[in-house]
Structure 1
Amino acid sequence: MQVRHLAGGEDLPPMSADEPRVSRAEALHVQVARHIRNEIEAGVLRDGETVASTRELAAQWNVSVFTITEAMKVLAAEGLIENKSRSKRVVRAPEQPRAKGEIRLRSPRVLFVGGYAGSGKTELGRILARLTGWPMLDKDTLTRPVLEAALELLGMSPHDRESETYLNSMRPREYEALMAAANENVSCGNSAIVTAPFLREFKDQAWLDRTEAAFAALNAQVTVVWVYCDATSMHGYVRHRGAARDGFKLSDWKSYLATIDLDFRPPVPHRVINNCTSSAPLQKQAADLLAEITAGETV
Protein backbone atom coordinates (compact mmCIF):
# COMPACT_ATOMS: atom_id res chain seq x y z
CA MET A 1 0.00 0.00 0.00
CA GLN A 2 1.42 3.35 -0.99
CA VAL A 3 2.59 5.73 1.74
CA ARG A 4 1.50 9.35 1.49
CA HIS A 5 3.74 12.33 2.15
CA LEU A 6 3.36 15.92 3.20
CA ALA A 7 5.68 18.75 2.33
CA GLY A 8 8.96 18.30 4.17
CA GLY A 9 8.88 14.53 3.83
CA GLU A 10 6.39 13.71 6.59
CA ASP A 11 4.84 10.33 5.94
CA LEU A 12 1.20 9.60 6.63
CA PRO A 13 -0.58 6.29 7.19
CA PRO A 14 -2.54 4.97 4.21
CA MET A 15 -5.89 6.74 3.86
CA SER A 16 -9.16 4.87 3.84
CA ALA A 17 -12.15 6.21 1.99
CA ASP A 18 -13.79 7.23 5.26
CA GLU A 19 -10.89 9.19 6.75
CA PRO A 20 -10.83 12.97 6.48
CA ARG A 21 -8.05 14.35 4.35
CA VAL A 22 -5.19 16.21 6.00
CA SER A 23 -4.34 19.60 4.58
CA ARG A 24 -0.85 21.03 4.53
CA ALA A 25 -1.98 23.63 7.04
CA GLU A 26 -2.81 20.79 9.42
CA ALA A 27 0.31 18.63 9.30
CA LEU A 28 0.08 15.55 11.50
CA HIS A 29 3.04 16.47 13.69
CA VAL A 30 1.39 19.84 14.43
CA GLN A 31 -1.85 18.06 15.40
CA VAL A 32 -0.01 15.64 17.69
CA ALA A 33 1.99 18.46 19.28
CA ARG A 34 -1.18 20.44 19.92
CA HIS A 35 -2.94 17.56 21.65
CA ILE A 36 0.07 16.74 23.83
CA ARG A 37 0.40 20.45 24.70
CA ASN A 38 -3.27 20.47 25.71
CA GLU A 39 -2.72 17.41 27.91
CA ILE A 40 0.19 19.17 29.64
CA GLU A 41 -1.79 22.35 30.19
CA ALA A 42 -4.80 20.36 31.43
CA GLY A 43 -2.62 18.53 33.95
CA VAL A 44 -3.07 15.11 32.33
CA LEU A 45 0.70 15.07 31.78
CA ARG A 46 2.52 16.52 34.78
CA ASP A 47 5.84 18.30 35.23
CA GLY A 48 8.65 15.74 35.49
CA GLU A 49 6.58 12.89 34.07
CA THR A 50 8.31 10.65 31.53
CA VAL A 51 6.69 10.76 28.11
CA ALA A 52 5.92 7.49 26.33
CA SER A 53 8.53 6.32 23.83
CA THR A 54 8.49 7.45 20.23
CA ARG A 55 7.25 4.06 19.07
CA GLU A 56 4.56 3.93 21.75
CA LEU A 57 3.33 7.40 20.81
CA ALA A 58 3.40 6.50 17.12
CA ALA A 59 1.20 3.49 17.87
CA GLN A 60 -1.15 5.57 20.01
CA TRP A 61 -1.59 8.19 17.31
CA ASN A 62 -1.41 5.77 14.37
CA VAL A 63 1.33 7.85 12.77
CA SER A 64 4.97 7.31 11.87
CA VAL A 65 7.92 7.66 14.24
CA PHE A 66 9.03 10.57 12.05
CA THR A 67 5.78 12.39 12.85
CA ILE A 68 6.30 11.89 16.59
CA THR A 69 9.91 13.04 16.35
CA GLU A 70 8.81 16.23 14.60
CA ALA A 71 6.05 16.81 17.17
CA MET A 72 8.59 16.42 19.98
CA LYS A 73 10.84 18.99 18.29
CA VAL A 74 7.95 21.48 18.36
CA LEU A 75 7.27 20.85 22.05
CA ALA A 76 10.97 20.92 22.92
CA ALA A 77 11.32 24.29 21.20
CA GLU A 78 8.46 25.55 23.38
CA GLY A 79 10.22 24.25 26.49
CA LEU A 80 7.46 21.77 27.30
CA ILE A 81 9.51 18.63 26.61
CA GLU A 82 13.11 17.98 27.62
CA ASN A 83 15.20 15.30 25.94
CA LYS A 84 17.06 13.54 28.75
CA SER A 85 18.56 10.92 26.45
CA ARG A 86 17.88 9.32 23.09
CA SER A 87 15.15 7.20 24.65
CA LYS A 88 13.82 9.38 27.48
CA ARG A 89 11.83 12.59 27.34
CA VAL A 90 10.19 14.31 30.29
CA VAL A 91 7.54 16.99 30.66
CA ARG A 92 8.90 20.38 31.68
CA ALA A 93 6.00 22.50 32.91
CA PRO A 94 6.90 23.86 36.36
CA GLU A 95 4.47 26.72 35.77
CA GLN A 96 1.54 24.49 34.85
CA PRO A 97 -1.66 26.51 35.20
CA ARG A 98 -2.94 26.13 38.75
CA ALA A 99 -5.07 28.53 40.70
CA LYS A 100 -3.18 29.98 43.65
CA GLY A 101 -6.58 30.20 45.26
CA GLU A 102 -10.11 29.90 43.97
CA ILE A 103 -11.23 32.87 41.93
CA ARG A 104 -14.23 34.20 43.84
CA LEU A 105 -16.81 36.26 41.99
CA ARG A 106 -19.53 38.53 43.32
CA SER A 107 -22.03 35.97 42.06
CA PRO A 108 -21.31 32.37 41.01
CA ARG A 109 -20.61 31.70 37.36
CA VAL A 110 -21.59 28.46 35.63
CA LEU A 111 -19.68 27.65 32.46
CA PHE A 112 -21.46 25.13 30.26
CA VAL A 113 -18.87 23.75 27.84
CA GLY A 114 -20.26 21.73 24.93
CA GLY A 115 -19.01 20.29 21.69
CA TYR A 116 -18.85 17.17 19.57
CA ALA A 117 -16.82 14.10 20.53
CA GLY A 118 -13.12 14.85 20.23
CA SER A 119 -13.57 18.62 20.06
CA GLY A 120 -11.48 19.18 23.20
CA LYS A 121 -14.23 20.30 25.59
CA THR A 122 -12.95 18.20 28.49
CA GLU A 123 -9.40 19.50 28.02
CA LEU A 124 -10.74 23.06 27.97
CA GLY A 125 -12.74 22.36 31.13
CA ARG A 126 -9.68 20.98 32.92
CA ILE A 127 -7.59 24.00 31.92
CA LEU A 128 -10.30 26.36 33.14
CA ALA A 129 -10.60 24.43 36.41
CA ARG A 130 -6.86 24.58 37.01
CA LEU A 131 -6.85 28.32 36.35
CA THR A 132 -9.82 29.11 38.58
CA GLY A 133 -10.00 26.45 41.27
CA TRP A 134 -13.67 25.92 40.34
CA PRO A 135 -15.06 22.37 40.42
CA MET A 136 -14.94 20.49 37.14
CA LEU A 137 -18.18 18.59 36.52
CA ASP A 138 -17.82 16.26 33.54
CA LYS A 139 -20.79 14.15 32.47
CA ASP A 140 -18.80 11.02 31.72
CA THR A 141 -16.82 11.20 34.94
CA LEU A 142 -19.97 11.64 37.02
CA THR A 143 -22.26 9.14 35.33
CA ARG A 144 -20.35 6.57 33.23
CA PRO A 145 -19.81 3.83 35.89
CA VAL A 146 -23.51 3.77 36.82
CA LEU A 147 -24.63 4.14 33.19
CA GLU A 148 -22.51 1.23 32.00
CA ALA A 149 -23.68 -0.98 34.86
CA ALA A 150 -27.30 -0.15 34.03
CA LEU A 151 -26.80 -0.96 30.35
CA GLU A 152 -25.26 -4.32 31.21
CA LEU A 153 -28.16 -5.15 33.53
CA LEU A 154 -30.47 -4.51 30.57
CA GLY A 155 -28.43 -6.96 28.49
CA MET A 156 -26.97 -4.19 26.34
CA SER A 157 -23.42 -3.18 25.54
CA PRO A 158 -21.98 -0.89 28.21
CA HIS A 159 -20.57 1.19 25.36
CA ASP A 160 -23.92 1.81 23.67
CA ARG A 161 -24.54 5.49 23.00
CA GLU A 162 -26.70 5.17 19.89
CA SER A 163 -29.75 3.00 20.70
CA GLU A 164 -33.20 4.38 21.37
CA THR A 165 -33.02 2.92 24.88
CA TYR A 166 -29.90 4.93 25.65
CA LEU A 167 -31.03 8.12 23.94
CA ASN A 168 -34.54 8.20 25.37
CA SER A 169 -34.14 6.51 28.76
CA MET A 170 -30.51 6.75 29.89
CA ARG A 171 -29.23 9.99 28.41
CA PRO A 172 -31.84 12.24 30.10
CA ARG A 173 -30.88 10.78 33.49
CA GLU A 174 -27.19 11.50 32.82
CA TYR A 175 -27.92 15.16 32.21
CA GLU A 176 -30.29 15.25 35.19
CA ALA A 177 -27.45 14.06 37.43
CA LEU A 178 -25.03 16.54 35.86
CA MET A 179 -27.37 19.48 36.37
CA ALA A 180 -28.08 18.39 39.96
CA ALA A 181 -24.34 18.48 40.69
CA ALA A 182 -24.08 21.96 39.18
CA ASN A 183 -27.06 23.17 41.21
CA GLU A 184 -25.56 21.71 44.38
CA ASN A 185 -22.36 23.68 43.88
CA VAL A 186 -24.09 26.93 43.01
CA SER A 187 -26.41 26.58 46.01
CA CYS A 188 -23.26 26.52 48.13
CA GLY A 189 -22.03 29.73 46.47
CA ASN A 190 -19.51 28.03 44.18
CA SER A 191 -18.89 28.67 40.52
CA ALA A 192 -18.67 25.53 38.36
CA ILE A 193 -17.41 24.29 35.01
CA VAL A 194 -19.81 21.78 33.42
CA THR A 195 -18.63 19.75 30.43
CA ALA A 196 -20.72 17.48 28.22
CA PRO A 197 -21.65 17.33 24.52
CA PHE A 198 -24.91 19.25 25.21
CA LEU A 199 -25.92 18.50 21.61
CA ARG A 200 -29.66 18.40 22.26
CA GLU A 201 -29.59 20.96 25.03
CA PHE A 202 -27.72 23.67 23.14
CA LYS A 203 -30.20 23.36 20.25
CA ASP A 204 -33.19 23.74 22.57
CA GLN A 205 -34.00 27.41 23.18
CA ALA A 206 -36.51 26.49 25.89
CA TRP A 207 -33.91 24.41 27.77
CA LEU A 208 -31.38 27.21 27.55
CA ASP A 209 -33.91 29.76 28.80
CA ARG A 210 -35.01 27.52 31.69
CA THR A 211 -31.42 26.84 32.68
CA GLU A 212 -30.47 30.51 32.68
CA ALA A 213 -33.58 31.38 34.72
CA ALA A 214 -32.96 28.58 37.23
CA PHE A 215 -29.42 29.71 37.92
CA ALA A 216 -30.42 33.38 37.96
CA ALA A 217 -32.79 32.45 40.81
CA LEU A 218 -29.68 31.26 42.66
CA ASN A 219 -27.94 34.57 41.90
CA ALA A 220 -25.66 32.86 39.37
CA GLN A 221 -24.73 33.80 35.81
CA VAL A 222 -24.54 31.29 32.97
CA THR A 223 -21.92 31.33 30.23
CA VAL A 224 -22.41 29.02 27.23
CA VAL A 225 -19.20 27.87 25.54
CA TRP A 226 -19.07 25.91 22.30
CA VAL A 227 -15.82 24.16 21.37
CA TYR A 228 -15.36 23.98 17.62
CA CYS A 229 -13.01 21.48 16.01
CA ASP A 230 -12.68 20.50 12.36
CA ALA A 231 -13.31 16.92 11.22
CA THR A 232 -9.65 16.04 10.76
CA SER A 233 -8.60 17.19 14.23
CA MET A 234 -11.60 15.48 15.83
CA HIS A 235 -10.85 12.20 14.08
CA GLY A 236 -7.28 12.23 15.35
CA TYR A 237 -8.31 12.97 18.90
CA VAL A 238 -11.18 10.45 19.03
CA ARG A 239 -8.91 7.76 17.64
CA HIS A 240 -6.13 8.63 20.09
CA ARG A 241 -8.24 8.50 23.25
CA GLY A 242 -9.31 4.97 22.38
CA ALA A 243 -12.61 5.07 24.29
CA ALA A 244 -14.80 2.03 23.65
CA ARG A 245 -17.86 4.28 23.36
CA ASP A 246 -16.29 5.83 20.25
CA GLY A 247 -16.11 2.51 18.39
CA PHE A 248 -19.37 3.14 16.56
CA LYS A 249 -18.14 6.51 15.29
CA LEU A 250 -14.74 5.27 14.21
CA SER A 251 -16.14 2.20 12.47
CA ASP A 252 -17.70 4.50 9.85
CA TRP A 253 -16.35 8.01 10.37
CA LYS A 254 -17.81 9.31 7.11
CA SER A 255 -21.32 8.25 8.12
CA TYR A 256 -20.85 9.74 11.58
CA LEU A 257 -19.82 13.08 10.11
CA ALA A 258 -23.00 13.08 8.03
CA THR A 259 -25.01 13.10 11.28
CA ILE A 260 -23.41 16.23 12.76
CA ASP A 261 -23.30 19.87 11.77
CA LEU A 262 -19.85 21.36 12.19
CA ASP A 263 -21.30 24.81 11.58
CA PHE A 264 -23.75 24.54 14.49
CA ARG A 265 -23.67 27.27 17.13
CA PRO A 266 -26.00 27.67 20.16
CA PRO A 267 -28.95 30.03 19.54
CA VAL A 268 -28.09 32.22 22.55
CA PRO A 269 -25.16 34.53 23.34
CA HIS A 270 -22.14 32.26 23.64
CA ARG A 271 -18.38 32.07 23.29
CA VAL A 272 -16.71 29.88 20.66
CA ILE A 273 -13.37 28.23 21.41
CA ASN A 274 -11.60 27.11 18.24
CA ASN A 275 -9.59 23.96 18.88
CA CYS A 276 -8.48 23.31 15.30
CA THR A 277 -4.81 22.70 14.72
CA SER A 278 -4.34 26.10 13.08
CA SER A 279 -6.09 28.06 15.86
CA ALA A 280 -4.58 29.87 18.84
CA PRO A 281 -3.42 27.59 21.68
CA LEU A 282 -6.26 26.29 23.84
CA GLN A 283 -4.49 27.65 26.91
CA LYS A 284 -4.49 31.21 25.59
CA GLN A 285 -8.13 31.01 24.56
CA ALA A 286 -9.04 29.71 28.03
CA ALA A 287 -7.17 32.57 29.70
CA ASP A 288 -8.82 35.12 27.38
CA LEU A 289 -12.26 33.66 28.14
CA LEU A 290 -11.68 33.92 31.87
CA ALA A 291 -10.37 37.46 31.60
CA GLU A 292 -13.54 38.42 29.75
CA ILE A 293 -16.07 36.83 32.09
CA THR A 294 -14.34 37.79 35.34
CA ALA A 295 -13.53 41.40 34.46
CA GLY A 296 -14.70 43.54 37.36
CA GLU A 297 -16.42 40.58 39.02
CA THR A 298 -13.75 39.30 41.41
CA VAL A 299 -13.99 39.95 45.15
Structure 2
Amino acid sequence: MKLVFFVGTAGTGKSYVSQMLSQEFSWAYLDMDTIGTPFVNKMLTMNGLDPDDRDSKFYKEHLRDLPYRATMDVALDNLLAHQNVALIGPFTRELANPEWIEKELKAKGLSFEEVDVKVIIVEVNNPNVEKERIQERGFERDQWKLNHWQEYKSEKKEYHVTWNIPETSVLRFDNSDEMTEEKRQTLIDFIKE
Protein backbone atom coordinates (compact mmCIF):
# COMPACT_ATOMS: atom_id res chain seq x y z
CA MET A 1 0.00 0.00 0.00
CA LYS A 2 1.12 3.55 -0.66
CA LEU A 3 0.85 6.54 1.64
CA VAL A 4 1.87 9.63 -0.33
CA PHE A 5 2.25 13.00 1.40
CA PHE A 6 1.94 16.16 -0.70
CA VAL A 7 3.47 18.90 1.43
CA GLY A 8 4.38 22.53 0.91
CA THR A 9 3.41 26.07 1.78
CA ALA A 10 0.27 27.86 0.60
CA GLY A 11 0.17 28.59 -3.11
CA THR A 12 2.67 25.96 -4.20
CA GLY A 13 -0.02 23.82 -5.81
CA LYS A 14 -0.17 20.76 -3.54
CA SER A 15 -3.86 20.27 -4.30
CA TYR A 16 -3.43 20.80 -8.03
CA VAL A 17 -0.56 18.31 -8.29
CA SER A 18 -2.26 15.66 -6.15
CA GLN A 19 -5.61 16.03 -7.95
CA MET A 20 -3.89 15.73 -11.31
CA LEU A 21 -2.22 12.51 -10.17
CA SER A 22 -5.56 11.17 -8.95
CA GLN A 23 -6.35 10.53 -12.61
CA GLU A 24 -3.53 7.98 -12.57
CA PHE A 25 -3.84 6.45 -9.11
CA SER A 26 -6.69 4.91 -7.19
CA TRP A 27 -6.37 6.33 -3.70
CA ALA A 28 -8.25 7.96 -0.87
CA TYR A 29 -7.72 11.68 -1.48
CA LEU A 30 -7.47 13.41 1.92
CA ASP A 31 -6.95 17.16 1.98
CA MET A 32 -6.28 18.37 5.51
CA ASP A 33 -8.03 21.69 4.85
CA THR A 34 -11.18 19.99 3.59
CA ILE A 35 -11.32 17.68 6.60
CA GLY A 36 -10.38 20.23 9.25
CA THR A 37 -11.73 23.61 8.15
CA PRO A 38 -15.40 23.21 9.19
CA PHE A 39 -14.71 22.30 12.81
CA VAL A 40 -11.71 24.63 13.18
CA ASN A 41 -13.80 27.56 11.89
CA LYS A 42 -16.59 26.67 14.31
CA MET A 43 -14.24 26.47 17.29
CA LEU A 44 -12.61 29.80 16.42
CA THR A 45 -16.03 31.43 16.09
CA MET A 46 -17.20 29.93 19.40
CA ASN A 47 -14.18 31.55 21.06
CA GLY A 48 -14.96 34.96 19.56
CA LEU A 49 -12.14 34.81 17.02
CA ASP A 50 -11.93 35.25 13.28
CA PRO A 51 -12.90 31.85 11.80
CA ASP A 52 -10.25 32.22 9.07
CA ASP A 53 -7.32 33.17 11.30
CA ARG A 54 -4.75 30.38 11.15
CA ASP A 55 -2.01 32.60 12.52
CA SER A 56 -3.44 33.44 15.94
CA LYS A 57 -1.83 32.22 19.14
CA PHE A 58 -5.11 30.51 20.10
CA TYR A 59 -5.23 28.53 16.84
CA LYS A 60 -1.60 27.46 17.09
CA GLU A 61 -1.93 26.39 20.73
CA HIS A 62 -5.37 24.76 20.73
CA LEU A 63 -6.51 23.92 17.22
CA ARG A 64 -3.54 23.42 14.93
CA ASP A 65 -3.09 19.72 15.67
CA LEU A 66 -6.78 18.74 15.39
CA PRO A 67 -7.07 18.73 11.57
CA TYR A 68 -3.81 16.80 11.32
CA ARG A 69 -5.05 14.23 13.84
CA ALA A 70 -8.38 13.81 12.07
CA THR A 71 -6.80 13.57 8.62
CA MET A 72 -4.24 11.02 9.78
CA ASP A 73 -6.92 8.93 11.51
CA VAL A 74 -8.90 8.76 8.27
CA ALA A 75 -5.71 7.92 6.36
CA LEU A 76 -4.85 5.07 8.72
CA ASP A 77 -8.39 3.66 8.50
CA ASN A 78 -8.05 3.63 4.72
CA LEU A 79 -4.70 1.84 4.92
CA LEU A 80 -6.27 -0.78 7.18
CA ALA A 81 -8.92 -1.21 4.47
CA HIS A 82 -6.05 -1.81 1.97
CA GLN A 83 -6.62 1.50 0.21
CA ASN A 84 -3.76 3.70 -1.03
CA VAL A 85 -3.82 7.22 0.40
CA ALA A 86 -2.83 10.70 -0.80
CA LEU A 87 -2.47 13.17 2.11
CA ILE A 88 -2.39 16.90 1.34
CA GLY A 89 -1.25 19.52 3.85
CA PRO A 90 1.79 21.37 5.20
CA PHE A 91 2.75 18.72 7.85
CA THR A 92 5.75 20.83 8.93
CA ARG A 93 5.85 19.70 12.57
CA GLU A 94 5.18 16.11 11.65
CA LEU A 95 8.00 15.97 9.10
CA ALA A 96 10.39 17.42 11.69
CA ASN A 97 9.63 14.62 14.17
CA PRO A 98 11.78 11.60 13.22
CA GLU A 99 9.51 9.14 15.03
CA TRP A 100 6.10 10.52 13.99
CA ILE A 101 5.19 8.44 10.95
CA GLU A 102 6.52 5.19 12.38
CA LYS A 103 4.52 5.71 15.59
CA GLU A 104 1.39 6.52 13.59
CA LEU A 105 1.67 3.32 11.57
CA LYS A 106 2.60 1.19 14.58
CA ALA A 107 -0.43 2.42 16.54
CA LYS A 108 -2.61 0.70 13.92
CA GLY A 109 -0.45 -2.42 13.65
CA LEU A 110 1.17 -1.26 10.39
CA SER A 111 4.82 -0.93 9.41
CA PHE A 112 7.08 0.24 6.58
CA GLU A 113 7.06 -3.34 5.30
CA GLU A 114 3.35 -3.01 4.52
CA VAL A 115 3.12 0.71 3.75
CA ASP A 116 5.31 2.49 1.21
CA VAL A 117 5.58 6.04 2.57
CA LYS A 118 6.53 8.74 0.08
CA VAL A 119 6.80 12.51 0.43
CA ILE A 120 6.45 14.98 -2.44
CA ILE A 121 7.57 18.45 -1.39
CA VAL A 122 5.77 20.81 -3.77
CA GLU A 123 7.75 24.03 -4.15
CA VAL A 124 7.55 27.29 -6.07
CA ASN A 125 10.82 29.12 -6.54
CA ASN A 126 9.15 32.41 -7.44
CA PRO A 127 7.34 34.12 -4.51
CA ASN A 128 5.34 36.24 -6.97
CA VAL A 129 3.82 33.10 -8.51
CA GLU A 130 3.02 31.83 -5.01
CA LYS A 131 1.28 35.11 -4.11
CA GLU A 132 -0.68 35.19 -7.38
CA ARG A 133 -1.95 31.64 -6.79
CA ILE A 134 -3.03 32.49 -3.25
CA GLN A 135 -4.87 35.57 -4.55
CA GLU A 136 -6.54 33.60 -7.35
CA ARG A 137 -7.95 30.92 -5.08
CA GLY A 138 -9.60 33.61 -2.94
CA PHE A 139 -9.71 31.79 0.43
CA GLU A 140 -10.56 34.02 3.42
CA ARG A 141 -8.06 32.10 5.53
CA ASP A 142 -5.27 33.42 3.26
CA GLN A 143 -6.07 37.09 3.92
CA TRP A 144 -3.57 37.44 6.76
CA LYS A 145 -0.80 36.06 4.57
CA LEU A 146 -1.62 38.53 1.78
CA ASN A 147 -1.95 41.50 4.16
CA HIS A 148 1.38 40.65 5.83
CA TRP A 149 3.19 39.16 2.85
CA GLN A 150 6.75 40.24 3.77
CA GLU A 151 6.32 38.98 7.34
CA TYR A 152 4.77 35.74 6.10
CA LYS A 153 7.57 35.10 3.60
CA SER A 154 10.25 35.98 6.17
CA GLU A 155 9.01 33.01 8.18
CA LYS A 156 9.47 30.72 5.20
CA LYS A 157 9.12 27.11 6.21
CA GLU A 158 11.88 24.76 5.21
CA TYR A 159 10.84 21.20 4.51
CA HIS A 160 13.19 18.56 5.83
CA VAL A 161 11.95 15.00 6.06
CA THR A 162 13.44 13.46 9.21
CA TRP A 163 11.51 10.19 9.01
CA ASN A 164 13.27 6.85 8.71
CA ILE A 165 12.43 6.43 5.02
CA PRO A 166 14.89 6.12 2.12
CA GLU A 167 16.08 9.32 0.42
CA THR A 168 14.58 7.88 -2.74
CA SER A 169 11.15 8.15 -1.10
CA VAL A 170 11.37 11.95 -0.96
CA LEU A 171 10.95 14.15 -4.04
CA ARG A 172 11.31 17.93 -4.24
CA PHE A 173 9.05 19.02 -7.07
CA ASP A 174 9.32 22.50 -8.59
CA ASN A 175 5.78 23.53 -9.51
CA SER A 176 6.68 27.08 -10.60
CA ASP A 177 5.77 26.57 -14.23
CA GLU A 178 3.18 24.67 -16.25
CA MET A 179 2.76 20.95 -15.72
CA THR A 180 4.38 19.25 -18.69
CA GLU A 181 3.91 15.62 -19.61
CA GLU A 182 7.55 15.03 -18.66
CA LYS A 183 7.00 16.47 -15.18
CA ARG A 184 3.80 14.49 -14.78
CA GLN A 185 5.59 11.28 -15.73
CA THR A 186 8.39 12.03 -13.25
CA LEU A 187 5.80 12.19 -10.47
CA ILE A 188 4.04 9.01 -11.62
CA ASP A 189 7.34 7.10 -11.80
CA PHE A 190 8.35 8.33 -8.33
CA ILE A 191 5.11 7.12 -6.76
CA LYS A 192 5.15 3.77 -8.56
CA GLU A 193 8.79 2.94 -7.66
After TM superposition, give the deviation of residue 122 of structure 1 in Å: 0.8
Question: 1:287 is matched with which residue?
Answer: 185
Question: 2:144 is matched with which residue?
Answer: 248
Question: 2:61 is matched with which residue?
Answer: 168
In structure 2, give the amino acid aligned to 1:229.
V
Question: 1:127 is matched with which residue?
Answer: 20
Question: 1:41 is matched with which residue?
Answer: none
Determine what percentage of the aligned residue pairs are the same residue: 25
The within-5 A match list for 1:59-138 is 108-138=1-31
Question: 1:258 is matched with which residue?
Answer: 154
Instruction: Report the Cα distance in structure 2 between the residues aligned to 1:158 and 1:286, rounded to whole angstroms.
Output: 36
In structure 1, give the amino acid aligned to 2:48.
G
Distance 1:210 1:241, change over 3 A: same
Q: Does 1:272 align with 2:172?
A: yes
Structure number, greater radius of gyration = 1
Question: 1:105 is matched with which residue?
Answer: none
Distance 1:218 1:209, change over 3 A: closer
In structure 1, give the amino acid aligned to 2:187.
L
Q: Provide the TM-score with structure 1 as the length reference.
A: 0.57
- Out of 121, 124, 132, the residue aligned to residue 236 of structure 1 is 132
In structure 2, give the amino acid aligned to 1:267.
T
In structure 2, give the amino acid aligned to 1:143.
G
Contact 1:115 1:196 in 2 (8 A): yes
**Higher relative contact order structure (alpha carbons within 8 Å, sequence separation ≥ 6):** 2
> Aligned with 2:103: secondary structure?
helix
Distance 1:179 1:209, change over 3 A: same
Q: 1:8-39, CA deviations, whole angstroms, 9 ceiling, x for partnerless residues? A: xxxxxxxxxxxxxxxxxxxxxxxxxxxxxxxx
Instruction: Report the Cα distance in structure 2 between the residues aligned to 1:149 and 1:218, rounded to whole angstroms.
Output: 39
Distance 1:283 1:190, change over 3 A: farther
Distance 1:167 1:206, change over 3 A: same
Contact 1:203 1:266 in 2 (8 A): yes
Equivalences, count: 185
Contact 2:7 2:88 in 1 (8 A): yes
Q: Unmatched 5+ residue regions in structure 2? A: none
After TM superposition, give the deviation of residue 248 of structure 1 in Å: 0.6
In structure 2, give the amino acid aligned to 1:271.
L
